[in-house]
């Protein structure tokens, strides 16, 4: 079982719709959770971080964390073509500094 | 403020050649990381350094060595390059305040 799992996609949504990206993790001691966005040929950039159960909103982005289910998700409201990218889920375990990444979900927002 | 700077950005090697990827950060972060990214594989940790003078293996360390020269610099060396090491390499530094990683622009390495 991979430590951090994501559906590779592509996930296609129409412009203006809500995109829902999901991630599960195996280490129950994990403390910190991150969503990075990566455009083709570019480096990853942080868009959301979440540390406690529940929802965290930042503009059009909402991160959701459920530690009991070992599940973290990212919702993108009013999706725009500029949101088309690969979204990487990353988890920091309870044991140290290592950040483990999922394989990423490719999102395509269509006009 | 440059953030994380990696050199070179592109490199082509022949099998068996050696090279060093350089990374420097100007954010005064303690921890630095080297990842490789391959299609369908996501980012995989090669080595990391929690502080100056310490290094630890990550998920895929074989074929690589690292040096944490000082707090700013963390280099990755391929002693005898193999085609399986063709990849995009990312250096990152870690801000302990939020746990965020800041990435360099990446180094695209091709081993023929």
Residues B15-70: pLDDT tens digits?
999 999 999 999 999 999 999 999 878 899 999 999 998 999 999 999 999 999 89
- Our CA angle for A26, B90, A97, nearest 5°, is 40
pLDDT at B100: 87
Nearest to B31 among A88, A97, A103 (CB): A97
Nearest CA in chain B to A9: B40
pLDDT at B39: 85
From CA B25, how far away is CA B47, in angstroms rounded? 16
Cα dist from A38 to A10, A44, A55, A74, B106, whole Å: 14, 4, 23, 14, 12
Chain A contact present for B94, CB below 8 A: yes
Residues of B in contact with A88 (CB under 8 A): 42-43
At B1, the pLDDT band (50, 70, 90 cuts) reads low
| B41/chain A closest Cα distance in angstroms | 5
Residue A32 has pLDDT above 80, yes or no: yes
Chain A contact present for B58, CB below 8 A: yes
Residues of B in contact with A2 (CB under 8 A): none
Q: E strands, A15-104, where?
A: 19-25, 32-38, 45-50, 54-58, 61-66, 71-76, 85-92, 99-101
Query: Considering chain A, what is the average pLDDT of its residues?
Result: 93
From CA B53, how far away is CA B63, in angstroms rounded? 21
| A110/chain B closest Cα distance in angstroms | 23
At A51, the pLDDT band (50, 70, 90 cuts) reads very high
Better-predicted residue by pLDDT, A71 or A99: A71
Residue B2 has pLDDT above 90, yes or no: no
Residue A97 has pLDDT above 70, yes or no: no
Q: Please list the residues that pair with B19 across neighbouring strands.
A: B78
């Amino acid at each position: 079982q991979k430590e951090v799992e994501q559906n590779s996609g592509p996930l296609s949504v129409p412009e203006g719709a809500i995109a829902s990206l999901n991630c599960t993790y195996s280490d129950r001691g994990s403390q910190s959770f991150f969503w990075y966005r990566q455009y083709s040929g570019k480096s990853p950039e942080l868009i959301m971080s979440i540390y406690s159960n529940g929802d965290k909103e930042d503009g059009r982005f909402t991160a959701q964390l459920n530690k009991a289910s070992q599940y973290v998700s990212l919702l993108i409201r009013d999706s725009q073509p500029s949101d088309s990218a690969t979204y990487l889920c990353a988890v920091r375990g309870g044991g140290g500094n290592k950040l483990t990444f999922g394989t990423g979900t490719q999102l395509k927002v269509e006009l | 403020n440059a953030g994380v700077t990696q050199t070179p950005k592109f490199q082509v090697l022949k099998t068996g050649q050696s090279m060093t990827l350089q990374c420097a950060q100007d954010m005064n972060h303690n921890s630095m990381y080297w990842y490789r990214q391959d299609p369908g594989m996501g980012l995989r940790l090669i080595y990391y350094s929690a502080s100056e003078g310490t290094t630890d293996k990550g998920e895929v360390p074989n074929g690589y060595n690292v040096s944490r020269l000082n707090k700013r610099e963390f280099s990755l060396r391929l002693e005898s390059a193999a085609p399986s090491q063709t990849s995009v390499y990312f250096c990152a530094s870690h801000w302990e305040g939020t746990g965020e990683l800041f990435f360099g622009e990446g180094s695209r390495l091709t081993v023929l």
